[in-house]
Amino acid sequence: MVGAGRGEKIVQMLKKVRPQQAALVMGLMALVGVGLATRTLPPAAQAAVPKAAVAVPLPAPTRPAPPALVATINALGGGFQGRVGIAVRSIDEGWVVGHAMDQRMPQQSVSKLWVALTTMNAIDEGKLALATPVTITRSDLTLFHQPIAYLMKDGVFRTTVGDLLRRALTLSDNTANDKLLNLAGGPVAVRDFIASRGLGNIRFGPGERLLQAKTAGLPWKQEYSQGNAFAQARSQLDPNVRRAAYQAYVADPPDGAGAGAIADALARLRHGMLLTPQSTSWLLDTMSHTRTGRARLRAALPTGWSVAHKTGTGQDLGGRTAGFNDVGILTAPDGKSYAVAVMIGDTARPVQERQQLIQTVVSAIVAVHG
């Protein structure tokens, strides 16, 4: 346990932020039943990762990580009932704070970020353009959240690459994302982009349809893209089949990623190390208009702060959820920014507690920012 001196410092730090944020931080600590404990961060995952290019180093830290934030993140991560990875990187000062940063957690729709980056890279290379016309047909439909399906007329929806990017990032539209994935070259192209930029501990799965079907214990059929056909087929499975498939997914997610690697990738994006300046600006501006996850990172931002982010939420089974995430870049009124990744890989805790965990990470960052 931390001595009284450090606990008092954190309390004083929280007094500098708005009262509801301070209450949120302290309240969640009480909820998880832990003090402001320090722990040694886990070592890097030993699992082999694909060979990749050596990334250009991020700027070296100009100061140590704030001790109060280290204590807070360790307390939050260690006290939460479920698997969670947390990473916070100061984009300006270079320090990193985290809990279980190298453990791969299911990304779910966070992986749409890598599809968007790969697509924007294709635009930078002249292979695509934001204005490139695209036609969506019923054969492109996926499952779960796909609002684009309701815009089809006579089985067709005509749009552009830029519009699909906006829908995939801000609305988390699965069909928009999978169409972009195909246009960009498929899963192999995304994995190649991740490897070529040296982004490290980030996997990319087989695409929305195959990933979700396997997680449920079903072989994919295109007929599942219509109405609630997928949910009906899933409900008819032997419960043991569903449970085994779910457990296999959370144990070794094909779309798994470490929170630390995601935060590093976001910092590289903000530093302009992944795309051209024009594409970097366009992508971050689009992410700042994300409409999903309003009770996650965005909910804890005080006036004057902004966030460019991407959420992800997985399938439920017996009260458990395989992935409840939010990752993004927080920017303070003075222009300083922080890359944040909160990845709840598997938990049965109520949704409100998951949201509180994510919000409290933000409140702790705001507190040390001053």
- Asked if 345 and 322 touch (Cβ cutoff 8 Å), the reply is yes
Contacts of 313 (CB under 8 A, 6+ apart): 108, 109, 321, 323, 324, 325
Residue-level pLDDT at 55? 72
Q: CA 183, 186, 188, 194: dihedral to nearest 10 degrees?
A: 60
Amino acid at site 256: G
| Tens-digit pLDDT profile for residues 200-212 | 999 999 999 999 9
Rg of the chain over Cα atoms, rounded to whole angstroms, equals 20
* SS3 label, residue 8: helix
Distance CA 87, CA 262 (A): 8
Low-confidence residues of the chain: pLDDT under 50: 1-11, 13-17, 23-50
Residue 224 pairs in a beta bridge with none
- Asked if 343 and 257 touch (Cβ cutoff 8 Å), the reply is yes
Distance CA 118, CA 185 (A): 9
Place of tokens 């079903």: 218
Amino acid at site 173: D
